[in-house]
Structure 1
Amino acid sequence: MSRRTSRLTGVTIAGIAALAMAAAPAIASSGSGAGDGAAKGVKGPHGVLDIQLLSFNDFHGNLEPPSGSSGRIVVGHAPDTADVDKDKNTDEPADVTVDAGGAEYLASNLEAARKGHPNTLTVAAGDIVGASPLLSAAFHDEPTVLAMNKLGLDVTSVGNHEFDEGYKEIQRLADGGCINDGDGANNQNSCPTGSFPGASYDILAANVIEKSSGNTILPAYSIKNVNGAKIGFIGMTLKDTPNIVTASGVAGLEFTDEVKTANALVPVLRSKGVKAIVVLIHQGGTPAKQPWTNPTSGNAYLANPTYDYTCQGGGNLTEDSAILPIAKGLDPEIDMIVSGHTHQPYVCNVPDPAGKDRLVTSASSFGRLFTETTLKYNFQTRDILRGTVEATNMIVGRDVKDPIQTALIEQYKELVRPIASKVIGHITQDVLKGGAGINAGGESQLGDLIADAQLADPSVVTGGEKPVIAFMNPGGIRADLTYATSPYGEAPGDITYDEAFTVQPFNNYLVSMTLTGAQIKEILNQQWTGSNAGSGKKILQVSKGFSYSYSGTTLGPVTLNNSPLVDTQSYRIVTNNFLQGGGDGFPSFLKGSNVYYGGLDIDAFANYLTSFNPTGYTPGSLNRISGS
């Protein structure tokens, strides 16, 4: 596999200012070594060369096979005779799934796919790290970078989660080196083996600019030489990244328009003799539902699409898919788009500005799928023959483990055990974020627990003033707490730090602030307006004593301790720094005054669970949020 040279920033490309206009900052290329790339495979003919491109996205540090629905892929449908969703309708469709994903199996599947393809590259579209299981997160995602090195990743774009610990951290993961984090302070430990070499693959961030220098924080593009065929890769994250990550993670950065940025780089690549161009972008689409007819009753339904339905099986992306206007606006010189972010599977043709079909792919998430693309490169035109580009999403079956990945996982499982296996609390029954654990208004058992933990955390008390309301974003609740789960042999109901971390894996800080009653109502209305309009509502989870109702997009009564919230009165609230920074489409949190940063959300969660020992925590009635 080709190796990365050291990161270069602030490399000015002479003579392209007029072409790039405002969309092109000072651009960091991947340097002369990685930029020209090591030739792969045997020398091909001077006419046409067959090339294989393997791609995936949104791996999120899932070294071990992901569990639950996160570890399954929909392959078909059958009547819900077991009434899986408990809605008493056994005629409707239930998903037929297979288990998939995990680094050991992704690596072995990629290796098997490469056989017979001497001219091959492996690429990704961001969120390789971040929101990771503890096995990776406890070591600042260094194990995931090592896993990507070993499975042969050549180049990836950044995604929004690459900024979870700030952009300096993703630069460190690219270049190597250790963090002096106190050898396990805050349950994290950089370089537990003594060193960290960094990524052997290129990490690209064409549309992420450091405001102070005007330079991209990482290379904007990478040129790979495959047996004499030069292919340029432009890597970007979604321009709205600041709205979905913590403010501190993107402080001092500017995220430029995806289309303008990529189009401005086309003449840059052409000036280097590169006409074959692929965009790796961390933005995606949503497949439309799949029609299904019950073979017995003949009743028609809409079902979750299978992994191969969109678009090859007759499906399509919904019209509001964010990737569509990007795909339609990218320069016709760009030959293919590898996308991500939405964790969805699709292989679709979207017309470019010249009306010519262009492939757009996404391979679900967590290593459950990869996309195999084959294409032909014409040496005479130095370009990809667009009509030869064909792609298929492939399931990462759990049949054969890659022994190199297994060894890496086993090494870090031993290193993380002292942190992961510590029992911190007890539950008397399942505490769920969805299904039977959520009401019609969107309030969940686990949302109640986390919000109450935030409210009880002493680290956010300042000047003797305690918060009276806590808010938690539902997207930050990543897993259930289940009574029977015992990953380290602990008693049923015992909750380990590993289990708690899986619920809240972001290491966000808790932040207290003062808001007026009117501002709190603004926030509640933003659950279904602004960027959240039409998104199915983002229902914030709230702490005990606070309640509200809504009907459609109309907010009803809002009370605190059974008294109506007063618009002109000030209230001390607590949330995480993601929401405090206006994340998830809640900009009114930015209006808070007397902002005070406390400890980590995972620490508050763990400490609150501990406070219920020895009897354990039992979820209460879901009576804080009502609506439909």
Structure 2
Amino acid sequence: MKTPLMLLTLALGLSSCSLFAGNKPVDVVVLGLNDFHGNLVPTGFSGIKVPAPTAANPAATANLAAGGAEIIGGYVNSVRSANPDTVLVGGGDLIGASPVISSLLRDEPSVIALSKMGMQVSALGNHEFDQGLKELLRMQNGGCDSNDAAKACKFEANYPGASFKWLGANVVDKDSGKPVFAPYQIVTTASGARIAFVGAVTRVTPTIVTPDGVKTLNFLDEADSVNKFMPEIKAQNPDAIIMLIHEGGTATDKYNVAGCSSLMGNIVDIAKRVDPAVNAIISGHTHQGYNCLVNGRVVIQGDFYGHLLQRLDLQVDKASHKLLSIKAANVVMDASATTTIPKDPAETAIVAKAKGLTDAVKNTVVARIAVPQILRAANDAGESALGDVIADSQLAATRSAATGNAVIALMNPGGIRADLPDSTNIKPDNSVNFGDAFTVQPFGNTLTTVTLTGAQLKAVLEQQFDNPTAGSNRVLQVSAGLTYTWTAAAATGSRVSDLKLSGTDISPTGTYRVTVNSFLADGGDGFTVLKDGTDRLVQPNLSDVDAFQAYLKANTPVAPGPQNRITRK
């Protein structure tokens, strides 16, 4: 059975104007890709289930295989062949938090693949800053002067840089106050239509990347920053203006519901405040699929990992520089065996080369698990089976006197990037390889152990609830032995109760050795109390993924636990 592209559209009549003779309206297609994260090969898209029968369960289903550079490139080619006035753009997080095929090569294959597709501009994402500003500028401009020489320029001898431009109207140098990246760019299509793209990244970026890497930058209010440049953009008479922003929300409506009204989150406030001259907003960051309206304006996001492409069909009048109509849709990048989307041969060559350079490492078997998958989905209290395993692995790696004397480990849920393994990589013998483990924890964070008082430990856990809108799940995953209850309705600072270690109450004045990854240790995700930990022991040669693999190997076959460490009232 073939999977349809599900191109459900929303048509908005924006202007009724009389056109000058000979000035025929121009149809422009804008394709948006957000939160690609270097996923050069397809992964499972939970928005569609397909039959996956087994002998034990003939009625089983699995996530549709979707995305990957070959399919995305093939779709872009087909659209561009039908309409040369096609523009490919990005919604941020094109790189960073990437699987082995891209990350072991410093994400250079992904940038080269997107450049080969003809991407023209992209919003900056927070993950573009994972390796710091200097490395991001190298990714933009090219060269081999990397902070990880072992990975840089291994895909090509001289990395050429991105042919597209990252945009960031709200990313400014602290000293000069000037944007470090271009705030906007006007793209001229084959027929001469001029589409302005203005970009921004979530202003909370410094709290969700390693702070040292962005210490010279300020991340300003997204809407205010875009609005600052709107007079300059409008003075150049573009035919349409599209905002690319790496910030988003959530919606109860599914990705294929056109014109949804259920959108919630930070993007709604931004959309309400941004200049009305912005015709549509391509968003990202929250890894959601939605196609909504905010004050009559399209706000769309395409899931993540290239599962969906956002498609805007514009009709513009070049003579009067007006947008006449817009249709919005999310298009499924079906990569299943029955897909009707052709693969792009140029992208196939890039993927094959990257696989050839990384497969030997990726396919090394680490261990077996007791079930086909250990899932990262959290229960109502915020605890996940995979989060428990990762926290336990970090405790096991730092329990000895030589490695930290840890008695507790905490793991941020945002650092858990996939199930173990992803649904497209389940093996008949339940084995997991290096690639599976690395895809779960792709950041290469090192482990750090600090001493916290019981009062500080409670304060860290209270910080989970300081900013409920900062993410869908901020509940830290905790190692075995640590238990507590949180009450959603309680006052700020008083939500955590019954905090125990191995059944004994945590003493506010007692001291406890606590292991976290280097991102958390520096106050990442807003857990600033961790920066106050004393007797800090940094393990520069012990990464989170190394600890994870060692634990899986030592405890083969690992089984998911009962998820009873955190309870909620």
Q: When the two structures are superposed, what TM-score results if normalisation uses the length of structure 2?
A: 0.84
The answer to which of 555-564 and 408-417 deviates more is 555-564
For 2:315, which of 366, 371, 376 is the aligned residue? 376
- Specify whether residues 623 and 280 from structure 1 end up closer, same or farther in structure 2 by C-alpha distance, changes over 3 A only: closer
Q: How far has the Cα of 1:180 moved from its partner?
A: 5.5
Partner of 2:203: 239
The equivalent of 2:11 in structure 1 is none
Residues of 2 paired with 1:157 and 1:533: CA distance? 22
Partner residue of 2:131 out of 137, 161, 165: 165
Counterpart selection for 2:414 from 475, 481, 488? 475
Counterpart position of 2:184: 221
Distance in 2 (CA, whole Å) between partners of 1:536 and 1:412 is 33
Q: Distance in 2 between matches of 1:441 and 1:412?
A: 40
The C-alpha deviation readout for 1:329-360, integer Å capped at 9, x for no partner, is 11122222111112222223322xxxxx3222
* Aligned residue identity for 2:262: L
CA displacement, residues 41-67 of structure 1 (integer Å, 9 cap, x when unaligned): xxx954643322222211111111113
Would you say 1:65 and 2:42 are equivalent positions? yes
Deviation at 1:152, TM superposition (A): 1.3
Amino acid in the other structure paired with 1:259: A
Q: What letter is aligned with 2:446?
A: Y
Which residue identity lines up with residue 52 of structure 1 in the other structure?
V
Q: Give the counterpart of 1:333 among 263, 277, 280.
A: 277
Q: Which residue of 2 aligns with 1:9?
A: none
Give the aligned residue type for 2:174.
K
Deviations 1:556-578 (A, max 9, x none): 31112332111122222111133
Deviations 1:395-417 (A, max 9, x none): 22232211111111111111002
Select which of 100, 105, 110 maps to 2:71: 105
Find out whether 1:512 has 2:457 as its counterpart.
no
Q: Displacement, 1:247?
A: 2.1
Q: Within 1, Cα distance between the matches of 2:32 and 2:424?
A: 33
> Does residue 31 of structure 2 align to residue 54 of structure 1?
yes
User: Gaps spanning 5+ residues in structure 1: where?
Assistant: 1-43, 83-89, 290-304, 352-356
Whole-Å separation in 2 of the counterparts to 1:62 and 1:481: 16
Of 462, 481, 495, the residue aligned with 2:432 is 495
Alpha-carbon distance, 1:389 to partner:
1.8
Distance 1:474 1:405 in 2: 32
The answer to whether the 8 Å contact 2:395/2:409 transfers is yes
Q: Are residues 338 and 563 of structure 1, via their aligned partners in 2, closer, same or farther at CA, if it must alter by over 3 Å? A: same
Aligned with residue 163 of structure 2, among 194, 200, 224: 200
- Residue 231 of structure 1 and its aligned partner are, at CA, apart by 2.5
Q: Is it true that 1:316 corresponds to 2:261 in the alignment?
A: yes
Q: Is this contact kept in 1: 2:144–2:152, CA < 8 A? A: no
Measure how far apart 1:583 and its partner are.
Answer: 3.2
CA contact (8 A) 1:581 1:590 kept: yes
Match of 1:210 among 173, 182, 195: 173
1:539 maps onto 2:475 in alignment: yes
**How many pairs align?**
532
C-alpha distance in structure 2 between counterparts of 1:274 and 1:533, whole Å: 35
CA contact under 8 A between 2:198 and 2:241: conserved in structure 1?
Answer: yes
> What is the TM-score of this pair, normalised by structure 1?
0.77
Matches within 5 A, 1:574-585: 574-585=515-526
Alignment of 1:120-519 (within 5 A): 120-179=86-145, 184=150, 188=151, 190-226=153-189, 227-274=191-238, 276-289=240-253, 305=254, 307-311=255-259, 315-318=260-263, 320-351=264-295, 357-381=296-320, 383-385=321-323, 387-398=324-335, 399=339, 400-430=342-372, 432-434=374-376, 441-458=381-398, 465-481=404-420, 492-519=429-456
Quote the Cα distance in structure 2 between the aligned partners of 1:331 and 1:623: 48
Taking the aligned partners of 1:364 and 1:485, their CA distance within structure 2 comes to 17
AA aligned opposite 2:182: P
SS at structure 2 position matched to 1:206: coil
Deviation at 1:223, TM superposition (A): 1.8
* Root mean square deviation, CA, Å: 3.3
Q: CA deviation at 1:246?
A: 2.5
* Whole-angstrom distance in 2 between the partners of 1:179 and 1:456: 36
Residue in structure 1 matched with residue 17 of structure 2 by the alignment: none
Q: 1:367 to 1:45 in 2, by over 3 A?
A: farther
Rounded Cα–Cα distance in structure 2 between residues aligned with 1:324 and 1:588: 30
Query: Offset at 1:549?
Result: 2.8
- The one-letter amino acid of 2:41's match is E
Aligned partner of 2:47: which letter?
Answer: I
The offset of 1:517, in angstroms, is 0.8
Contact 2:367 2:431 in 1 (8 A): yes
Structure 2, unpaired ranges of 5+? 1-20, 490-494
**Matched residue type, 1:538:** R
Identity of aligned residues (%): 37
Q: CA deviation at 1:502?
A: 1.4
Q: Give the SS at the match of 1:574.
A: strand
Question: Which stretch shifts more, 102-111 or 218-227?
Answer: 218-227
Are the structure 2 counterparts of residues 100 and 425 from structure 1 closer, same or farther at C-alpha, using a change threshold of 3 Å?
closer
Counterpart contact for 2:126–2:209, Cα < 8 Å: yes
Q: What's the CA shift for 1:621?
A: 4.9
Q: 1:117, CA displacement in angstroms? A: 1.6
Whether 1:550 and 2:486 are equivalent positions in the alignment is: yes
Aligned partner letter, 2:477 = Q
